[in-house]
Amino acid sequence: MQTEMAGVLVLADGTVVRGGGAGAAGVTVGELVFQTGMVGYQETLSDPSYAGQLLLFTYPLVGNYGAGPAMQQSAAIQARGVIVRDLLPSGGHRDTDGELTDFLAAQGVPVLTGVDTRFLTRRVREHGAIPGALAVGPAGELPTVAELQARAIAFDYAAEDFVTACATPTLVWQPPAHPAGPRIALIDYGSKTSMVDHLRARGAGVWLVPPHWSAAEVLALQPDGILLSNGPGDPAHLAGPLGTVRGLLDHGGAPVFGICLGHQLLARAAGCQTIKMSFGHRGVNQPVIDTTTGRVAITTQNHGYVVAATSLPSDYRVTYSNLNDGSVEGIAHLTRPWWGVQWHPEAHPGPTDTQDLWDTFLAATSSARVAVSF
């Protein structure tokens, strides 16, 4: 007979939330953040940008269409722990072949269930992302609140190197469908598989490049374009990758496109500052406005840091702003093909409003890119 599991979450400030336990038994520590999407839980859980975090789903019903390999955005679940209102059995879906509960258990991820996620969401909104310790196991075997709080207090999200753990350790080449297709160097800080999928679907070949390669090593590939991927962590602590991006801007001629963390690294290489947000943007309903055309798009986002608008140098401009809080959502160089966006144009999950950015990027890699506007 299987022992029923319980769960407890203890935050660094002493907040204690008890509920049921699912997934894997054990204790994990991370930064508590919330995500507002109604669907796409597996894509979210496997997004490397969530490395080091305890992921709280604001939508109350999670697991109701199962889990399967078609929805994975990386090789494993990246969130360290999961908090939900109701973890449900699967009702079935053509792209899934199992239960989310079993999937999380197999990958060693503990889940806290049956709790008031609205309370925790308000806590994060009022006080910002906060370290927490999550324990799951038989009720009589859980650690004490004092032990868990001590572990939460000791956790420092900004001090850990999540990028190295998430990214490819070696160069990986995926050839184009046709020999004349553009060659893209995707510098992997924790990229989602859908990025490669979008590039290859448009005829490009892709090198998946380790995050700590130098600019000289990247440029030796002679890429037609360089994509700086999303990923976890504080961009201010990534000295090696930042040096590479600076080298690419100083010595390379290929277009450079940054997404999420890649956008932040591009901005810092240009001389901008990045700052930690209170609770970040995480969800599939973030509205951004094109500062040139006034066009509004709904986007998928997952970030806790943002480019400081007041630090933008004179040779760059803000291309997109967030309609909720006015934060910087995109930048571009005034004359060079270097630009980035804070959101995920590949979505997965989320809206497809801005997938034309992939076409713009690949058009810029062509020798006839003089007509492309940045």
Query: What's the pLDDT tens digit per position in 132-189?
Result: 999 999 999 999 999 999 999 999 998 999 999 999 999 999 999 888 899 999 999 9
pLDDT (0 to 100) of residue 92: 81
**Rounded CA Rg of the chain:** 21
* Residue 371, Ramachandran bin (φ over 0: left; ψ between -120 and 50: alpha; else beta): alpha
pLDDT (0 to 100) of residue 95: 82
Which domains, and CATH codes, for the chain? 5-157 (3.50.30.20), 163-371 (3.40.50.880)
* Residues 196-218 pLDDT 10s: 999 999 999 999 999 999 999 99
Distance, CA of 11 to CA of 120 (rounded, Å): 10
pLDDT (0 to 100) of residue 2: 61
What are 152's two structure tokens?
Answer: 């939460």
pLDDT (0 to 100) of residue 366: 81
Q: Check if 166 is active-site.
A: no
Residue from 263, 303, 333, 344 carrying the catalytic annotation:
344
Residues composing the chain: 374
> How do strand 225-228 and strand 256-259 relate by DSSP bridges?
parallel
Distance, CA of 45 to CA of 41 (rounded, Å): 6
What's the predicted TM-score (pTM) here?
0.95
Go through 150-164 and write b for each residue having 16 or more CB atoms within 10 A of its CB, e for each that does not.
ebbbebebeebebbb
Type of residue at 230: N
Cβ of 106: how many Cβ atoms within 10 Å? 14
pLDDT (0 to 100) of residue 182: 95
Q: Which residues pair with 328 in a beta bridge?
A: 321
Q: Secondary structure of the chain: what % helix, strand, coil (to 5)?
A: 30, 30, 40
Distance, CA of 70 to CA of 134 (rounded, Å): 29
Burial class (CB in 10 A: 0-12, 13-18, 19+), 292: exposed
Q: Check if 346 is active-site.
A: yes
Residue from 43, 263, 346, 348 carrying the catalytic annotation:
346
* Pair 296, 324: CB distance under 8 Å: no
| Nearest alpha-carbon partner for 190 in 210, 213, 172 | 210
DSSP state for residue 3 in the 8-state scheme: P
pLDDT (0 to 100) of residue 325: 96
Residue from 260, 272, 281, 333 carrying the catalytic annotation:
260
* Tokens 């994509």, located at residue: 227
Q: Check if 260 is active-site.
A: yes
pLDDT (0 to 100) of residue 371: 37
Cβ of 320: how many Cβ atoms within 10 Å? 25
Distance, CA of 10 to CA of 175 (rounded, Å): 48
Q: Which residues in the chain land under pLDDT 50? A: 1, 368-374
Distance, CA of 136 to CA of 347 (rounded, Å): 32
What are 12's two structure tokens?
Answer: 């660094």
* Pair 160, 340: CB distance under 8 Å: no
Distance, CA of 51 to CA of 272 (rounded, Å): 25
